[in-house]
């Protein structure tokens, strides 16, 4: 807990899940990283309550996989019902999802933040400064001079090569940069009630949405022994009424939750937003997480999007710190802003269906949905692919694979069996058929680029225990898939002789950014 002064490679502002994960990912790559967090103590109350399988995979990459399984519980599904109890939407979640983790995981956010903070403390070149508010930023050549103020009013200065604002919805960094935001103007007030259950009670499915015009209500798991209810404020209803002491218990009682069976951890009203920053980078200062985007909660993608920001940014910033052109960081904005916009718009679309309080309009909605309903539960869609940015431009690259997130299963390598990422690695990976796994180097016009691990799927090499990878390659018509450190496919080719061209394409793009 040294004073924030001196020199670091990267200063992260904010120690929420996004900031902590990003700091770990940079420290893993050997960089001197510091985190300035304005709160003197960890925030004790939950905000996010879940993360999907892709996010679990990214979090596991920080080295907290075992702890992640302990602090979370797999969700069984997500179901919408109308006021009459009819199922409008039904999604079943798998405990062994497409990315090696359950499709959906409920958790207590303070527990996740504690695990990430402990992991960050394992790196001697990483520092955390609590109770330090960033109050100024000034870029000078290849450094950013950052002014901070502690809770006792003491001022300190730190210089950093790069600054990343992960400081939440009311981001100081975003305001200081003066970047504009795009606000879709979609917002409603909700009463949030976090509950600790005192007895065993099963909720099937885990996550539920009551599309009742009399009171749209969200019910979700929030980790072992905990659950969250959210109640929409009705038109004409005074928000002050929802803030009274008896309002939470009055609304919870309709769902069988009473003081004798549960402990109310928190009740608070909040207004969700749908917005994104128009610029995510200004010089040597970047934005990530809620500082860059905010979305309604209905798709559960708020925190997940922040972790994707961290994973995308970490490997690119690592290459820039090693000498790649800093224009490479512009692909971070292109890629993640595009994906965030899509997630926000989809969340708004869901919200427009859910937040209906007119009975006649709700009846029409229900009838339309039921008329087009398919029998049986659906399965979650794969993670959203990248459609622009640092992706192969070769005409022979297979379009179906480009930008998608590669799945993950168990493999056997050198006598050990485990998830692919854990055994093969998480950098650039060339997934092929046949032969041993060996590293190779991408050549750029300026010299050697990043190493690439070649993972050959064959007996005695990387053995496909779950029978996932060989059918995956066959389905694409590919003999080789080049995967980025954030698990998105850079490109795939059908002919093994095209692999050198694929690696050269990556080298050119990393050099030219």
Same-domain pairing of 280 and 346 = yes
For residue 447, give the CATH number of its domain: 3.40.30
Same-domain pairing of 220 and 322 = no
pLDDT for 6:
65
For residue 226, give the CATH number of its domain: 3.30.70
Query: Does residue 220 sit in helix, strand or coil?
Result: strand
Give the confidence band of 460 by pLDDT, cuts at 50, 70, 90: confident
Q: Which of 224, 245, 271 is the last residue of a domain?
A: 271
* Residue pair 152/193 in contact by the 8 Å Cβ criterion: no
**Structural domain of 451:** 410-512
Percent of the chain with pLDDT over 70: 98
Same-domain pairing of 301 and 255 = no
Give the span between the Cα atoms of 468 and 409, in whole angstroms: 6
Q: Which residues contact 255 (CB under 8 A, 6 or more apart)?
A: 217, 219, 229
Q: Record the tokens describing residue 311, joined without a space.
A: 């994973």
pLDDT in tens, 338-365: 999 999 999 999 999 999 999 999 999 9
Beta-carbon count within 10 A of 1 CB: 7
Same-domain pairing of 127 and 256 = no
Percent of the chain with pLDDT over 90: 90
Average pLDDT over residues 60-82: 97
Same-domain pairing of 346 and 480 = no
Residue 304 pLDDT greater than 60, yes or no: yes
pLDDT in tens, 202-251: 899 999 999 999 999 999 999 999 999 999 999 999 999 999 999 999 99
Residue 447 pLDDT greater than 50, yes or no: yes
Same-domain pairing of 208 and 160 = no
In 253-370, DSSP assigns E strands to: 262-271, 275-277, 281-282, 285-287, 293-294
| 116-120, 439-443, 453-457, range with the lowest pLDDT | 439-443
pLDDT for 3:
44
Q: Which of 304, 333, 353 is the last residue of a domain?
A: 353
Q: Smallest Cα–Cα separation from 34: which of 163, 144, 137? A: 163
Residue 1 pLDDT greater than 50, yes or no: no
Residue 96 pLDDT greater than 60, yes or no: yes
Average pLDDT over residues 106-134: 97
Comparing 381 with 442, which gets the higher pLDDT?
381
Residue with tokens 């450094």: 143
Q: 399 in a domain, yes or no?
A: no
Give the span between the Cα atoms of 22 and 123, in whole angstroms: 13
Q: 82 in a domain, yes or no?
A: no
Residue 334 pLDDT greater than 70, yes or no: yes
Q: 442 in a domain, yes or no?
A: yes
Residue 470 pLDDT greater than 80, yes or no: yes
Same-domain pairing of 253 and 206 = yes
Q: 220 in a domain, yes or no?
A: yes
Give the confidence band of 438 by pLDDT, cuts at 50, 70, 90: confident
Residue 78 pLDDT greater than 70, yes or no: yes
Residue 23 pLDDT greater than 60, yes or no: yes
Q: 375 in a domain, yes or no?
A: no
Q: How far is the CA of 104 from the CAs of 9, 207, 397, in angstroms?
A: 35, 10, 32
Same-domain pairing of 65 and 166 = yes
Give the confidence band of 5 by pLDDT, cuts at 50, 70, 90: low
Q: Smallest Cα–Cα separation from 135: which of 149, 151, 121, 116? A: 149
Average pLDDT over residues 181-189: 95
Whether the full predicted model's pTM is greater than 0.85, yes or no, is yes
Same-domain pairing of 143 and 20 = yes
Please state, rounded to an integer, the average pLDDT across all residues of the chain: 94
Residue 2 pLDDT greater than 50, yes or no: no
Q: Smallest Cα–Cα separation from 294: which of 348, 250, 227? A: 348
pLDDT in tens, 243-299: 999 999 999 999 999 998 899 999 999 999 999 999 999 999 999 999 999 999 998
**How many domains in the chain?**
3
Query: Does residue 291 sit in helix, strand or coil?
Result: helix
Same-domain pairing of 262 and 338 = no
Same-domain pairing of 208 and 316 = no
Q: 325 in a domain, yes or no?
A: yes
Q: 470 in a domain, yes or no?
A: yes
pLDDT in tens, 128-181: 999 999 999 999 999 999 999 999 999 999 999 999 999 999 999 999 999 999
Give the span between the Cα atoms of 36 and 261, in whole angstroms: 40
Give the span between the Cα atoms of 385 and 426, in whole angstroms: 18
Same-domain pairing of 160 and 299 = yes
Q: Which of 327, 353, 379 is the last residue of a domain?
A: 353
Q: 83 in a domain, yes or no?
A: no
* Residue pair 317/310 in contact by the 8 Å Cβ criterion: no
């Amino acid at each position: 807990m040294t004073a924030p002064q001196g020199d670091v490679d990267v200063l992260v502002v904010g120690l929420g899940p996004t900031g902590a994960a990003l700091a770990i990912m940079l420290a893993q790559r050997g960089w001197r990283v510091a985190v300035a967090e304005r709160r003197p103590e960890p925030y004790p109350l939950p905000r996010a309550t879940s993360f999907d399988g892709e996010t679990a995979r990214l979090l596991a990459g920080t080295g907290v996989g075992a702890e992640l399984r302990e602090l979370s519980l797999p969700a069984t599904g997500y179901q919408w019902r109308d006021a009459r109890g009819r199922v409008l939407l039904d999604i079943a979640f798998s405990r062994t999802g497409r990315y090696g983790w359950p499709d959906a995981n409920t958790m207590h956010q303070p527990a996740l933040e504690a695990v990430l903070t402990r992991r960050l403390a394992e790196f001697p070149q990483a520092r955390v400064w609590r109770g330090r508010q960033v109050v100024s930023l000034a870029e000078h050549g290849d450094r950013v001079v950052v002014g901070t103020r502690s809770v006792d009013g003491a001022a300190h200065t730190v210089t950093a090569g790069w600054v990343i604002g992960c400081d939440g919805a009311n981001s100081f960094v975003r305001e200081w940069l003066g970047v504009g935001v795009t606000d879709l103007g979609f917002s409603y007030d909700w009463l949030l009630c976090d509950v600790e259950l005192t007895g065993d009670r099963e909720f099937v499915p885990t996550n539920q949405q009551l599309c009742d015009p009399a009171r749209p209500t969200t019910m979700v798991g929030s980790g072992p022994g905990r659950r969250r209810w959210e109640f929409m404020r009705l038109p004409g209803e005074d928000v002050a009424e929802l803030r009274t002491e008896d309002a939470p218990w009055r609304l919870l009682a309709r769902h069988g939750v009473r003081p004798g069976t549960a402990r109310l951890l928190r009740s608070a009203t909040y207004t969700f937003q749908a917005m994104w920053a128009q610029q995510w980078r200004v010089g040597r200062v970047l934005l990530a997480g809620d500082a860059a985007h905010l979305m309604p909660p209905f798709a559960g993608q708020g925190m997940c999007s922040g972790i994707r920001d961290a994973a995308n940014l970490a490997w690119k910033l690592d290459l820039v710190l090693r000498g790649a052109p800093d224009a490479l960081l512009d692909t971070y904005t292109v890629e993640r802003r595009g994906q965030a916009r899509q997630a926000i718009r989809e969340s708004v679309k869901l919200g427009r269906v859910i937040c209906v309080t007119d009975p006649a309009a709700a009846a029409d909605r229900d009838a339309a949905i039921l008329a087009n309903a398919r029998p049986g539960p659906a399965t979650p869609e794969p993670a959203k692919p990248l459609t622009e940015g640092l992706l192969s431009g070769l005409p022979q690259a297979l379009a179906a694979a480009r930008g998608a997130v590669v799945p993950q299963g168990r493999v056997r390598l050198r006598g050990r069996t485990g998830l692919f990422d854990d055994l093969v690695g998480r950098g650039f990976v060339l997934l092929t058929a046949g032969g041993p796994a060996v590293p190779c180097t991408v050549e750029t016009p300026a010299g050697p680029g990043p190493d690439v691990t070649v993972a050959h799927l064959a007996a005695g090499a990387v053995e496909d225990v779950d029978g996932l990878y060989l059918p995956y390659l066959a389905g694409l018509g590919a003999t080789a898939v080049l995967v980025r450190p954030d698990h998105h496919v850079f490109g795939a080719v059908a002919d093994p002789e095209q692999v050198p061209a694929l690696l050269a394409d990556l080298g050119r793009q990393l050099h030219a950014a």
